[in-house]
Structure 1
């Protein structure tokens, strides 16, 4: 797949969005979105994501899963305390949400 700047260069050479799409073998909606972004922002770089990043990393999630599989009778509070002492994660309600998202219920 070509870069976004290649799409803009093609557009500047008086090619239609359809022709650019066929030349680069990418969807027309992608081409038009990139051209629109270029006109509005003057660049094709993506903007930073809005919102807060996740408190628990992938490693923390793996540790949580391992802890629950090893001792499934623990409460969410005790799991949170265990993870806090083990790796310094200060999470409380996140534990139950993450477990729910991983398919652990009850």
Structure 2
């Protein structure tokens, strides 16, 4: 027998997010004084997700997804080395032709 939590996890996976309408529905239910357990059962969403949405809404005033914090990822070392080799081997090539190779 599957519970509501496992059912939603199988459907969504970890990388997918809830739609804006679902998050809005969670906040609407919260404003109507429904408890997290009732919202979870009603919408078939895990309680931890419901709690996270409500907490985020209380702190930021929005349920929209925010960009990730922190420094952007660097270009991989191997691609930097490849670019250096290409430029050193063919100094006469234009930047456009080098960009096409990558």
**TM-score, normalising length: structure 1:** 0.53
Q: Which runs of 5+ in 2 are unaligned?
A: 1-17, 88-96
Aligned length: 72
Q: For 1:81, which of 69, 73, 85 is the aligned residue?
A: 85
Aligned equivalents of 1:7 and 1:39: distance in 2? 13
User: Judging changes above 3 Å, is the alpha-carbon distance between structure 1 residues 5 and 85 closer, same or farther for their aligned structure 2 residues?
Assistant: same
Name the residue aligned to 1:43.
62
1:87 Cα offset (Å): 3.4
Alignment of 1:1-106 (within 5 A): 3-50=22-69, 51-53=71-73, 55=75, 77=81, 80-82=84-86, 85=98, 87=100
TM-score normalised to the size of structure 2? 0.54
Larger relative contact order (Cα-Cα within 8 Å, sequence gap ≥ 6): 2
* Superposition deviation, residue 36 in structure 1: 0.4
Aligned-residue offset at 1:49: 1.1
What residue ranges of structure 1 are gaps of 5+ in the alignment? 57-63, 65-75, 90-106
Alignment deviations for residues 56-89 of structure 1 (CA, whole Å, 9 cap, x no partner):
6xxxxxxx7xxxxxxxxxxx94575238935376
